[in-house]
Amino acid sequence: MVDVPLCRVDELSDGVMRHYEHIGYDLLLVNLDGTFYCVDAACTFSWADLSQGVLDREKKGVVCPGCGGTFSLETGQPLAGPPKFPLEVYEVHVVGDDVVVTFVY
């Protein structure tokens, strides 16, 4: 397991989603109500970039900009729309001022 700092806490304010790359991983990092979530950035239906989508605060989800599928940020599971397969979910910790994601290579 490897812990990788992706950004500082103050660089991702509430409601912001951002795309990050880490050695070939395309990641979506989200601050939702002060909790950070990290999932794959590519929709499992047709690979649209989820960082271009919108947050669904009620469902704690991200809505795909492609054809509107929604994924849970907590579990990665599809909640609505065409996607059938889940996103990979990565563990996120705040360590000091950093948002740190844990990878299992």
Nearer to ligand FES, 82 or 86 (CB): 82
Nearer to ligand FES, 4 or 76 (CB): 76
Q: Where do contacts with ligand FES occur on this chain (CB under 6 A)?
A: 43, 45-46, 48, 64, 66-69, 81-83
Render 38-100 in DSSP notation, one character per residue: EEESB-TTT--BGGGSEEETTTTEEE-TTT--EEETTT--EEESS--SPPPEEEEEEETTEEE
Cα–Cα distance measured from residue 22 to residue 27, given in angstroms and rounded to the nearest whole number: 8
Hey, what amino acid is at 89? V
CB of 67 to ligand FES, least distance (A): 3
CB of 78 to ligand FES, least distance (A): 9
CB of 104 to ligand FES, least distance (A): 25
Nearer to ligand FES, 75 or 103 (CB): 75
